[in-house]
C-alpha cells in the first residue's frame, strides 16, 4: 500500500475524494485499494479536470442503471480511456504562456473573504512576496489558518467523516491536517501560494 509521500500527492487524493462528496454526495469507506487507485492517478499525473469529468460520467451512468458506487476502482477504466485520449490530443500542441501567472493571487486579494480578515496581513505579506518573485514559505500561514478555524464545526464534521471512512492504516494526523487545509483552500478560493 502506498502512503502519501508529500503534500502534493495527499492534496490531489483529498481533492478527488472531496469532489466526489461535494459534487455528487457520494461517500464510502476508503480502503487501501482505493487509496492506491488514487495514488496511481497522481503518479501518472492525470489532470484533475480529466478525473472530474470521468467521475461525472460514471456517476451519471451508474445512477441511470441504479448501481451504487462504493469503490474508486469503478472509475478506473473511464479514467484510463479518458487520460489516453487526453494524451493523444495534447501531443505536439503549442501551449501559450499565461498572460499573468499571478492573476489568481491578485483576484484573491481583490476579493478577500470576510471570514479570513484576521489573517489578512499574513496573506498580504505572503502574496506580496510571491508577486515580487521572492521566495516565500506558506507553512506559517497554513498553521495560522488551521489554528483560526480549529473550532469550525463544519470543517471538524467533514474531517471526522473523512477520517472515519479511511482504512485504519491511513488514519494519520498529517492526512487529517491536509484534508482540513484543502477544505479551507477550497471553501475560500485561496490560490496556490507556492
Q: CA-CA distance, 14 to 21, in Å (whole number)?
A: 11
Q: Coil, helix or strand for 121?
A: helix
Domain assignments of the chain as residue spans, ordered by start: 7-89, 106-188
The answer to pTM > 0.85 is no
Q: What DSSP string runs through 41-66?
A: HHHTT--HHHHHHHHHHHHHHHHHHT
d(CA 179, CA 175): 6
Q: What is the pLDDT along the chain (194 residues), one digit of tens a residue?
A: 445 555 577 888 888 998 998 889 888 888 888 888 998 899 889 999 999 999 999 999 999 989 888 899 899 889 998 888 887 775 545 545 556 677 888 889 999 999 999 999 999 999 998 888 888 888 999 999 999 999 999 999 989 988 888 888 888 898 899 889 988 988 888 888 77
* Residue among 125, 182, 137 at smallest CA distance from 159: 182
**Could you tell me if 166 and 34 are in contact, meaning their C-beta atoms sit under 8 angstroms apart?**
no
Cα dihedral across residues 120, 125, 128, 129: positive or negative? negative
Amino acid at each position: 500500500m502506498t502512503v502519501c509521500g508529500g503534500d502534493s500527492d495527499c492534496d490531489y487524493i483529498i481533492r478527488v475524494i472531496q469532489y466526489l462528496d461535494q459534487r455528487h454526495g457520494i461517500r464510502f469507506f476508503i480502503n487501501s485499494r482505493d487509496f492506491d487507485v488514487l495514488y496511481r492517478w497522481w503518479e501518472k499525473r492525470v489532470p484533475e479536470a480529466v478525473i472530474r469529468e470521468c467521475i461525472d460520467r460514471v456517476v451519471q451512468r451508474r445512477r441511470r442503471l441504479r448501481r451504487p458506487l462504493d469503490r474508486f476502482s469503478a472509475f478506473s477504466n473511464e479514467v484510463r480511456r479518458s487520460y489516453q485520449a487526453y494524451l493523444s490530443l495534447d501531443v505536439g500542441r503549442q501551449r501559450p504562456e499565461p498572460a499573468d501567472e499571478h492573476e489568481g493571487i491578485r483576484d484573491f486579494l481583490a476579493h478577500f473573504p470576510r471570514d479570513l480578515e484576521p489573517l489578512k496581513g499574513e496573506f498580504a505579506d505572503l502574496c506580496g512576496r510571491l508577486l515580487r518573485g521572492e521566495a516565500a514559505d506558506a507553512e506559517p500561514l497554513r498553521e495560522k489558518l488551521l489554528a483560526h478555524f480549529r473550532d469550525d464545526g463544519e470543517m471538524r464534521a467533514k474531517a471526522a467523516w473523512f477520517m472515519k471512512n479511511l482504512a485504519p492504516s491511513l488514519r494519520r494526523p498529517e492526512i487529517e491536517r491536509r484534508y482540513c487545509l484543502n477544505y479551507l483552500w477550497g471553501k475560500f478560493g485561496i490560490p496556490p501560494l507556492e
